[in-house]
Structure 1
Amino acid sequence: MGNLQVEDRDEVRCHLQVCTGCREELSNVVGDLIALAVGVEQHPTPERARREFLKRIESESRFRIEEMRRTPVPKEKDCVD
């Protein structure tokens, strides 16, 4: 959900609070993605690509953490079916 706009993310969070089916489906998809990630043959990453990748993750992570701190998680009472 980190790639969604704030309004869309809040809408999805609200929906997940009230929709058991979607929560279960999200859980299944996340589980499938984890299984896929650990089931793929691993190859060493070239050092330069690794450094650039880690630099990008650090930069985006700081931005997302700050964005999440500024954006309150909607309470169930604020969500509409």
Structure 2
Amino acid sequence: MNFSEKLKTWQDQVNQALDQALPGSEVPPARLHQAIRHSVDAGGKRLRPILVLAAEDLFRGENDPIPAALAIELIHTY
């Protein structure tokens, strides 16, 4: 797998995890959740969480890096 493919895989993992972690825009309070999703879904390359995933890949960590990657992305987003 070349770097571009790995980057795309990591982006997909982060986007899928964000989608699962955030409440749906129809869940009360709907307006708040719509605003959260709008902010998070505004686009971007997801470089910060990808760096977390790359570090885990490089050092062969034993823990799931997704929670830390999402935390970094959400802190940056707000």
Please report the TM-score for the alignment, with normalisation by the length of structure 2: 0.29
> Could you say which structure has the larger radius of gyration?
1
Higher relative contact order (CA 8 A, sep 6+): 1
